[in-house]
Amino acid sequence: MRQIIKEGFSLKGKEFLLSLIVFSYLVISFSVLSFYTSSDYLPYIQLFFLLLENYITVSVYYGIRQLLWEGILDIPAIFTKGRQLFFRVLGYKIMAGAFIILVFAFCLSMVELVKNSSIITAGFITAFTILWLTFPVYLFLLTLLAPLVIIADDVPLFKAVRMSMGFIRGHLLDTGKLILLLLPLWAFVIYLLKLYNEKVTFLQMVIFYLFSLLEIITVKVFLLFYRKREER
């Protein structure tokens, strides 16, 4: 595990190039969306950048996979592969988003239900809600590696979901350790992004690049983790 973390945080020149691709997307998308904030076309522009974000991230993640598996980085090839993997990764994101919306809607309905209830009834409903959600949320968390499985093994969406569930369930403790390691870093960068959002342009650009670097590191760590455990 230490070797995975050490190698994951050790970035080389070609990985910095990938981080610049992510950084460029962040800067361009932020600039365009800021310009069209009051436009009637904003929803369409947002949709365009959501789809573009999926394409860029899939291509960049495949670039990391290419470096780890093959030791090369072929820029044209990663964007070609990004088109091939695009809909499978997007399909997972749509499924994940739909699940989150359903859970959120269910929680809101439970909140409305307990508003005028007694303390005992409210406690019972809250406990029921938590228990009822525990299993499906657990299953959902087991699928979170599916996009990287799609990119690593070039498999169909539902097979990737099954492989992700089996892999995370079999390496739950180590997966938790990696999340606990990376989560404070993500929380810090997101905090900085919110703190300096549209306040100091230079600092915002620096934070965008930190965000890009952290994304590369996170994906590299989990791809290394997946590859090394699957080789055993």
Section 114-131 average pLDDT: 77
Whether 9 and 225 have beta carbons less than 8 Å apart is answered as: no
Section 201-216 average pLDDT: 90
Angle at which helices 201-230 and 42-70 pack, to 10 degrees?
Answer: 50
Q: Distance between CA 49 and CA 41 in Å, rounded?
A: 13
**The one-letter amino acid at 33:** L
Section 122-145 average pLDDT: 86
**pLDDT confidence band for 199 (50 / 70 / 90):** low
Residue-wise DSSP of 142-155: HTTTHHHHHHHH--
Which pLDDT score is estimated for 229? 65
Which pLDDT score is estimated for 106? 83
In whole numbers, what is the pLDDT of the chain averaged over residues? 89
> Would the pLDDT of 74 be above 80?
yes
> Would the pLDDT of 152 be above 80?
yes
Quote the radius of gyration of the chain (alpha carbons, Å): 20
Which pLDDT score is estimated for 212? 94
Residue 225 buriedness (CB in 10 A; 0-12 / 13-18 / 19+): buried
